[in-house]
Amino acid sequence: MTTTTTGDDVLVFPPIWLRDNCPCEHCRDPRNGQKLFGITDLPADLTVRGTEVSADTITVTFGPDGHRGPFSRAWLDAQLSASSGDGRTEAGKRLWQAQDLDGRLPAADWAAYRDDPAERARVLSAVRDLGFALLHGTPTEEETVLAIARTFGYPRETNYGTLFDVRVEPDPSNLAFTGMRIAPHTDNPYRDPVPTLQLLHCLANAADGGDSGLVDGFTAASLLRAEDEEAFRILSTTLVPFAWYDAGTSLRADRPLIDVDPEGHLREVRFNNRSMQALRLDPAATTAFYAAYRRFAEIIARPELLLTFRLDPGDCVIFDNTRLLHARTAFAESGARHLQGCYADLDALTSTLRTLEGTA
Ligand code: OGA
Ligand code: ZN
Ligand code: ZN
């Protein structure tokens, strides 16, 4: 790497920033790189007293205490060009509509995914960037969904168990356990934190119907922002109560349908009419919320946003539950259809991906 930082260039970095990032062994434990001081341990009146430049290091002497920090020039250079953001918001994603992916779904064969780290990285980067990926040819044995989650992270155990079965049940506790259509939604908005990933693994799909659908919720939200700024503002600032309960469980989270970070970037979308509870707003705000909610729902329902495909036995879809909405068409309850699902989290997936890509 060529380095260009000179002693003078160091002065673009405020003294407090330099000192807070001092790499010396008094400031960071050499065994783990962790910082050994807190902000109040630093002098409030820090200055840079002088710099000494060598081939790959700029040593900064700080005032008022004379502390010396040897900064790598390559590291300082990298800071000048570093982009901010952890990749979780729309700024780090590739937004899509159905036709963008038509015939080009991010997919891999299970054996290649399992055995080839480059193939694994390709699949996991699709989940990060597009919000989903498909695996074909996985074992059609129960609990395979857990083994798939463990290839990149950890199944998240909930009150539903470590996995859940999606099939027709005689006394359904959820519409998922009937043959009814399920409109695009995110799962479990009543949890805090919400599961950031979901996996659905197909064991049987012989029924008439039961096709799968995905909608990019960031695309839908960005369309709303472009078409109706006020509706976007309302949905990103109104807390919506979500809840789920049974005899032994009572879950509740109040979150906006569209979550933006402090810089205004889309970060999470929640959309689930089944678990949305009564809002308590004044009448005018309530009416305005419902109008905005309807606008958003109409955008989500646009056919050009819905990517449809069919899960066959041995297929598994992995998707970002904070961004994509998933759906299924109705199916004949006489036919055998059985999915097993589990929740997992993006932090472990992106950690695995960074390690595979060597960018940890
Ligand atoms: C669900 C769900 C999709 C399907 O159970 O939450 O969305 O294909 N199921 O059955
Ligand atoms: Zn130091
Ligand atoms: Zn669902």
pLDDT along the chain (360 residues), means of 10: 62 95 98 98 97 95 98 94 89 97 95 98 98 98 98 98 96 92 98 98 96 98 98 98 96 98 97 97 98 98 98 98 98 94 98 90
Contact assessment for residue 170 and residue 309, using Cβ atoms and an 8 Å cutoff: no
Question: What pLDDT was estimated at residue 81?
Answer: 86
Q: Vertex 262, ends 257 and 263: CA angle to 5°?
A: 105
Contact assessment for residue 235 and residue 271, using Cβ atoms and an 8 Å cutoff: no
Question: What pLDDT was estimated at residue 335?
Answer: 87
Question: What pLDDT was estimated at residue 9?
Answer: 77
Give residue 357's identity as a one-letter amino acid code.
E
Question: What pLDDT was estimated at residue 1?
Answer: 42
Question: What pLDDT was estimated at residue 76?
Answer: 94
ω into 193 cis (within 30 of 0): yes
Report which secondary-structure segment, H or E, holds 355: helix 346-357
| Atom in ligand 1 nearest the alpha carbon of residue 182 | 7
Question: What pLDDT was estimated at residue 4?
Answer: 53
Q: Which residues, in sequence order, are CB contacts of 45 under 8 Å at separation 6+? A: 64
Question: What pLDDT was estimated at residue 5?
Answer: 61
Tally of CB atoms within 10 A around 117: 11
Residue 41 alpha carbon to ligand 2 centre in Å: 12
Question: What pLDDT was estimated at residue 258?
Answer: 98
Q: How many angstroms separate the CA atoms of 356 and 353, rounded? A: 5
Nearest CA to ligand 1 atom 9: 176
Question: What pLDDT was estimated at residue 224?
Answer: 99
Question: What pLDDT was estimated at residue 6?
Answer: 65
Domains of the chain, CATH where assigned? 3-81 (3.30.2020.30), 90-357 (3.60.130.10)
Indicate the length of the chain as a whole number: 360
- Would the CB of 338 count as within 6 Å of ligand 1? no
Residue 58 alpha carbon to ligand 3 centre in Å: 54
Question: What pLDDT was estimated at residue 360?
Answer: 61
Question: What pLDDT was estimated at residue 2?
Answer: 46
| Structure letter (DSSP) for residue 272 | -
Residue 69 alpha carbon to ligand 2 centre in Å: 5
